Structure formats: C-alpha cells, structure tokens
C-alpha cells in the first residue's frame, strides 16, 4: 500500500492494513497486520504504530520449524531523499528510526518489510537450550543420543598422526 504524501491531511491518517509480504529466507505464515498513524510536518513524514507478524523459520541448531510471532513497534520518521547527507538532522531522536522518501509516495509495504527484517533473529532457536543435531549422524540430540562425540579424535592428535605417517614414508 502506498501513501501519497501531499494527500495526508493535517490531522494525520490512521491506516490499518493486512498485507501478504514475502521475505527472502523466511516464510511469512500469515498476513502482516499493521496499525499505523501517519502524519506529516513541513517535509517530514512520521509513521508510528505497531505491526504483528508470524514467521516460520528453521531453528539454527536442529532445523526444526519454529514459529515466531512478533509484535513490533513502528517509529519511523521519513525525510526527503534530497536531505541525505545534509547536516539538517543535528537533533537525533534515538527513539525513531530514520527513513527517506523520494517523490510523493511512501510505500508502507516497504516500511513493514524493513521493520520485520530489522527485528528478525538471524539465528532463531526452537528453544534456548536446544542441543541441535549431531553433525555426524544427524540425530536430533534433543530427543536422542548417539556415540559419535566419544569417537571423535582430538584434531591435534590427528595432525600428529599425519606427521608420524609422513616420517615413516
């Protein structure tokens, strides 16, 4: 959904939307719901509110599917792209994210996608103490055990063994 900036009334806009979005590397299980208040000052556009999203990801240790439901606050102030790099933003408001817009339109879908990507855990876990899977036999160590670990040779010994073998040759 796009907002035409000159059309934003002085008192602001309340936008409620449900968007299906796609994110690279994740599957988004349900449409993203967002409630946003859009207002503008001279040439800045403020978007505040919240959005909720459900993501389906793989646990970074055991590869099990993990559902992550998140409610994210949205606090973004958009400046015209012409201002990039200018010193106009001396007053930094740490509560707000900063964005830039070009032309007269603001793409809310882009905003939503960005907000989700910013908050997504890069290494999701099904459980804080997930034991993961054995890299050798692939058994899920949360539900089973294997003997691979014990058999593992200390890598330093491995090097030594190779050296000794070379000497023999």
Q: How far is the CB of 129 from Zn ion (least distance, A)?
A: 9
For Zn ion, which residue of 32, 34, 53, 61 counts as binding (CB under 5 A)? 61
For Zn ion, which residue of 62, 74, 106, 133 counts as binding (CB under 5 A)? 62
Binding segment (CB under 5 A) for Zn ion, from list 31-39, 98-106, 116-124, 136-144: 136-144
For Zn ion, which residue of 14, 137, 159, 160 counts as binding (CB under 5 A)? 137
CB of 36 or CB of 124, closer to Zn ion: 124
User: Could you give the CA distance from residue 146 to residue 149 in angstroms, rounded to a whole number?
Assistant: 7
Q: Is the dihedral of CA 58, 59, 65, 66 positive or negative?
A: negative
32 near Zn ion, rule: CB under 5 A: no
Element (H, E) at 53: strand 45-58
Structure tokens at 80: 């015209």
User: Could you give the CA distance from residue 54 to residue 30 in angstroms, rounded to a whole number?
Assistant: 6
């Amino acid at each position: 959904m796009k907002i035409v900036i000159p059309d934003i009334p002085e008192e602001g806009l309340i936008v409620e939307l449900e968007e299906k979005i796609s994110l690279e590397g994740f599957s988004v299980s349900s449409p993203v719901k967002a409630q946003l208040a859009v207002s503008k000052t001279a040439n800045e556009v403020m978007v505040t509110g919240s959005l909720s999203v459900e993501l389906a990801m793989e646990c970074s240790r055991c590869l099990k599917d993990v559902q992550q439901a998140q409610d994210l606050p949205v606090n973004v102030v958009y400046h015209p792209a012409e201002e990039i790099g200018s010193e106009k933003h001396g007053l930094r408001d740490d509560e707000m994210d900063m964005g830039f817009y070009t032309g007269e339109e603001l793409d809310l879908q882009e905003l939503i996608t960005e907000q989700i990507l910013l908050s997504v855990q890069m290494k999701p876990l099904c459980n804080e103490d997930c034991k993961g899977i054995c890299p050798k036999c692939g058994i899920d160590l949360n539900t089973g055990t294997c003997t691979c670990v014990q058999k593992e040779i200390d890598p330093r010994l491995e090097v030594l063994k190779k050296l000794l073998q070379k000497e023999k040759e």
